[in-house]
Amino acid sequence: MQTKGAPDQLVVVIDDDEVMRLSCQQILQKAGYKVETFGNGHAGIKRIQEAKPPLLIVDIKMPELDGFEVINIVRKIDTDLVIVVITGYATIETAVDAMKAGAYDFLPKPFTPNELRMIIDRGFERWRLTKEAQRLRREKEEVERKFVTLVSHQLKSPLVAIKQYLDVMLFTSKDQLPEKAADWVRRCQVRLGEMLTIIQDWLALSRIDSGSLCDRASSAELGKVVENIIGEYQQVPSGLNVTIKASIPSDLPPICGDPVSISMLVGNLVSNAVKYNRAGGSVSLKACRVGNLVTIEVSDTGTGIPPGAMQHLFEEFYRVKTEATQNIPGTGLGLVICKRIVHELNGTIDVRSKEGEGTTFIIHLPIAENKKEVEAKSGECK
């Protein structure tokens, strides 16, 4: 079967032999291609750079630049260019070498017009498929990106409306509601809050996956992030009356990562440290510099993690199930998010825990790229 080349697709021919150039031109123009021929590598490469054609036919044996050199150069200009090699001394070795260098196919001289046409049609089809695949991949990525945003918005909207009604109802007419009804409304608020948190965590994970979070080129001031987080907790005090203490050296260098990711990371750890604490307990946040890394420690005075649970801690939807933890709300995604963020930012996360005494999460994150040279004395661990 002979496929018809798309009209007006450009084929560049580089060959020092004029007869060869002319015959290629005639055969391929008849087949519907636009053909431009060049007598040496330099002129041909220049044209490829300008026109980015789908196809190149190049002779192997030429004075000045030979075919292999031409292939090496044009491969760097356009990785999708389909290259067909013409070789006068057809040995398997030359053909293999040409393929290794990045040619798509080879044509031994002498060849018939039909052989040339078939090889070029096939080459063009390959180029078309490559481009098509690239377009589809881009479209798919775009759809996935939009899907996550839209679905999470669609999932959230009804929940938001319901919770907003309940919030306003309780706020404006609490006294008119029977005690039991008010209590149930509060339970509904809590359960809706849980659902919203799951969607939010799921969205965070897909944003990490799609690369729209965890920007390594950004930098974050840990002091500011921690200040914001503590501020949020002071606005909404937990029922356990847990105090949060932070000691972040003011001269701590900025850490690698965007403030949103860092805030999500530290926020999740602080949230856990508060939730899994004892009444009247405390959470302590410490940070210091160790060489080109910043160490962040988040410790609580809670019940600690049972040794058997340690290995599952960073698994999706895993939650420690003990009598003490059964009424603590959570999605089982918080530590997964932490681990993913730390991983994306080229850091590490560890945990130390003693049952009955408390848990400490230790994070190491690189210092922001352009701050590494700064005098290492600042904010060093004592």
Partner 1 sequence: MSESKTVLIIDDDRDFVTAIETLLVSSGYRVATASNGREGIQQAKKVQPDLILLDVMMTERTEGFFTLQEVRRIPALSRTPVIVISSIYTDQPVFRVSPEAGWLPANLFLPKPVEPMRLLEEARRLIGENCQTASAGRKL
Q: Which stretch binds partner 1 (CB under 8 A): 9-17, 114-122, 148-156, 281-289?
A: 148-156
Residue 152: CB atoms within 10 A of its CB come to 17
- 221-240 residues near partner 1, rule: CB under 8 A: 228-229, 231-232
- Please select the residue that binds partner 1; options are 131, 153, 191, 312, rule is CB under 8 A: 153
Is residue 141 a contact point for partner 1 (CB under 8 A)? no
Residue 302 DSSP one-character state: S
Contact 60, 94 (CB under 8 A): yes
Is residue 203 a contact point for partner 1 (CB under 8 A)? yes
Q: Could you give the CA distance from residue 311 to residue 261 in angstroms, rounded to a whole number?
A: 24
Is residue 204 a contact point for partner 1 (CB under 8 A)? yes
Contact 80, 127 (CB under 8 A): yes
Which token pair is 341?
A: 């963020």
Please, where are the H alpha helices in the chain?
Answer: 18-30, 41-51, 67-77, 92-101, 113-173, 179-209, 222-235, 259-275, 334-344
Shortest spacing between CB 40 and partner 1, in angstroms: 52
Is residue 89 a contact point for partner 1 (CB under 8 A)? no
- Please select the residue that binds partner 1; options are 172, 234, 311, 326, rule is CB under 8 A: 172
Q: Contacts by 74-79 with C-beta closer than 8 Å and gap 24+?
A: 74/45, 74/48, 75/101, 75/102, 77/45, 77/48, 77/49, 77/52, 78/48, 78/52
Shortest spacing between CB 50 and partner 1, in angstroms: 37
Residue 305 has, within 13 A of its CA and on its CB side, a CA count of 22
Is residue 171 a contact point for partner 1 (CB under 8 A)? yes
Which token pair is 290?
A: 């160790």
Is residue 272 a contact point for partner 1 (CB under 8 A)? no
Shortest spacing between CB 203 and partner 1, in angstroms: 7
Q: Could you give the CA distance from residue 125 to residue 105 in angstroms, rounded to a whole number?
A: 13
- Give 70 or 260: the residue with its C-beta nearer to partner 1: 260
Contact 268, 337 (CB under 8 A): yes
Q: Which stretch binds partner 1 (CB under 8 A): 1-9, 62-70, 155-163, 303-311?
A: 155-163
- Planar angle of CA 120, 122, 124, nearest 5 degrees: 70
Is residue 290 a contact point for partner 1 (CB under 8 A)? no
CA distances from 339 to 11, 59, 210, 269, 336 (A): 51, 54, 16, 11, 5
Contact 65, 85 (CB under 8 A): no
- Planar angle of CA 276, 277, 280, nearest 5 degrees: 155
Shortest spacing between CB 151 and partner 1, in angstroms: 12
- Please select the residue that binds partner 1; options are 263, 271, 277, 303, rule is CB under 8 A: 263
- Give 267 or 347: the residue with its C-beta nearer to partner 1: 267
Shortest spacing between CB 78 and partner 1, in angstroms: 35
Q: Which stretch binds partner 1 (CB under 8 A): 11-19, 95-103, 165-173, 357-365?
A: 165-173
Is residue 23 a contact point for partner 1 (CB under 8 A)? no
Is residue 210 a contact point for partner 1 (CB under 8 A)? no
| Per-residue interface string for the shown chain with partner 1, residues 100-139, x marking contact by CB under 8 A | ----------------------------------------
CA 178 remoteness from chain centre: 51
- Give residues in contact with partner 1 (CB under 8 A): 149-150, 153, 156-157, 160-165, 167-168, 171-172, 196, 200, 203-204, 228-229, 231-232, 260, 263-264, 267
